[in-house]
Structures are given as structure tokens and as C-alpha cells.
Chain A
Amino acid sequence: LAKTTQPISMDSYEGQEVNITCSHNNIATNDYITWYQQFPSQGPRFIIQGYKTKVTNEVASLFIPADRKSSTLSLPRVSLSDTAVYYCLVGAAFNKFYFGSGTKLNVKP
């Protein structure tokens, strides 16, 4: 029932910029796009949310094209501590939010 599709895994090296893309072809007009980070043995943690165009905060940027059928989470200059699973969700208020399988990011030294 997950409304999103992401790559299963990605590898990167410390200091690189990492872009993780999520496909959500059936996104509804009132849906927002939200990204989460999850470390082993912890609950997911909110990273960033957007509706359209570009959103930036202190840890990441979110790029959303005009058709909103996909989104890209950008992590600048990753470090070993960014090794985690990243999930994108779409939905709106009073929705049931479904997590897909996520993208396992492995940052190498």
C-alpha cells in the first residue's frame, strides 16, 4: 500500500553530496512529501517536508518538480553518521501514512 518507490540501497563516501530520489506517481493535490531517517534500534526521525519547488533546512534540501510525481532528498557532505535508512512518505492531514522499504544509505570512509 506504500504510495512511494525508492532505490533499495545507495553507497557514498564521506564528504560527498548524496541525492535520494523517490517516485510517487499517484500523489494527491493536498499531499505533502516528507522524509525520515532511521538508525538501527530507533524510531524514524523527521528530516524535511515540502509541497513543491525546493525546501532547505539545516540538514537537507528537498527538490520537488512541478508535476510533483517525484522528489529528491539531498544530503550535503555526508559523514559516517549519516549511514541510515531513509524513507519518503506522501500524505495529508488525517491520512494513514505508509512507509515503503526505504533506501539504505551506506557512507564509507
Chain B
Amino acid sequence: NAGVTQTPKFQVLKTGQSMTLQCAQDMNHNSMYWYRQDPGMGLRLIYYSASEGTTDKGEVPNGYNVSRLNKREFSLRLESAAPSQTSVYFCASSEEGERAGELFFGEGSRLTVL
């Protein structure tokens, strides 16, 4: 049981380049999340998806796009990377009901934009 898997784990980009962070979960969860965490800071919500085909903006959506094409996968795309997007990105998923607050996180994707 892999849980939440993120790829890549590390990436270095030049300003203006684009890339997609991939996230997949095998727990049959409907809800999925993308967060970013800057050094010494808490996690900030970028985008949220309550189910396949639906997405909603979080606290810091500017500069990002997301895609939830199926129940398992939720991808985060940077169309034109900026140094301010250097961060660690975490994907998470959760079920509904009473356990909705129990988020399962991936190991993170460390992105550096030069």
C-alpha cells in the first residue's frame, strides 16, 4: 500500500520554464490537496479537489494550474516558473465523513527555480 506518491522528488528549473508535479493516491480518497511550504513556514494551500473533475483555489493559487482527471491523480503545473515558487510541495488526500481531517501526505517535491 503506497499511500500518496509524488514525482519528482527533486527538480531544478530556470525562470520561465514549465513543469508538472504528479501526485497519485491508492486509498480511494475523493479529496486531494496541493500545499507548498517555504523554509521555516507552515503549509499553505494552493489548490483543493473534492472529487474527480472538480478543483478549487486555496490561499496561494497564482502561478499554478491543477488537473484532476481521475480519482487517483491530481497534478500541479507551473506554466512559467519564478524564483518565488522555490519551495517544497506536498500533495495530500483524505476521505469523507468523520475522518475528513485525517490528511495523508506524500514525501514532498523539492523545487528550486533559478
Taking Cβ atoms with an 8 Å cutoff, the residues of A that contact B are: 1-2, 32-34, 36, 41-46, 49, 51, 85, 87, 89-102
Contact = CB atoms under 8 A, between A and B. Distances in A.
Given A87-B42, A96-B48, 13 more contacts: A33-B101, A43-B90, A43-B105, A43-B108, A44-B103, A45-B105, A46-B104, A87-B43, A91-B100, A91-B101, A93-B31, A98-B45, A99-B43
B100 A95 contact: yes
Interface in B44-74: 44-45, 48, 50, 56, 58-59
Contact of B106 (A43, A46, A85, A102): A43
12 contacts: A34-B101, A42-B107, A43-B90, A43-B108, A51-B98, A87-B42, A87-B43, A90-B101, A94-B96, A96-B45, A99-B35, A99-B43
Nearest to B43: A99
Say what secondary structure dominates the interface of chain A: loop
Contacts of A51: 98
A99 B31 contact: no
Contacts of A41: 108
Interface of B: 31, 33, 35, 41-45, 48, 50, 56, 58-59, 90, 92, 94, 96-108
B98 A97 contact: no
B100 A94 contact: yes
B96 A93 contact: yes
A97 B101 contact: yes
Contacts of B35: 99
